[in-house]
Amino acid sequence: MTIALRMHKTLVRSPQTLSDVVDWRLCIGCGACSYVCKRGKVRMVHVESEGYRPVFDDPSCADCRDCVEVCPGAQVDGTLEIGGLPTVTEADREFGPTLEIWEGWATDPEIRLKASSGGALSALSLYCIEYGGFHGVVHAGMDPVRPWLNENFVSSTREQVLARAGSRRSGPRTFGA
């Protein structure tokens, strides 16, 4: 049996500040940075074309690293492949090179019917709360005042998670709304 090995050169770039996360479009709008800011200088605002994004009330916040420690966007693996990987499967054309593709769904019928895409994320959230000792999960739900927009919530009960389950496709406001 012959094994072909191919060396890939990699360039690693990781976000160093919250400004990097926002500028590189890695922000998911969760609000964790605003929540943990010890000086209260980061707040979340709704940007119509992007969703919720942090705004720095103090220019020194742009270079602060405290928020980066909890930021999911800063945890993105910045490894960039230089040179292409060979196309191995039919799925590579649609998804790019992958190790495996899995399909999953909630086995609880209530979750599966109320949530989107089979309820996998809602089921994982509930598992973390009910069995994993988590105090809550951060997720998006419908803004109760402006239902065409998303709002970030911390849910700590089954009822709260299920009330905010489902697809959230919030586009820009139209017709002066």
Q: Is residue 68 located within the same domain as residue 116?
A: no
Is residue 37 included in any domain, yes or no? yes
- For the whole model, what pTM was predicted? 0.51
Is residue 85 included in any domain, yes or no? no
Q: Which of 79, 101, 120 is the last residue of a domain?
A: 79
Average pLDDT value for the chain: 76
What pLDDT, on a 0 to 100 scale, did the predictor assign at position 177? 39
* Count of domains observed in the chain: 2
Find the domain containing 136 and state its range.
109-163
Is residue 61 included in any domain, yes or no? yes
Maximum Cα interatomic distance, the chain, rounded to a whole number of Å: 66
> What digits encode the pLDDT tens for the residues 51-82?
788 888 787 776 678 888 888 888 866 554 54
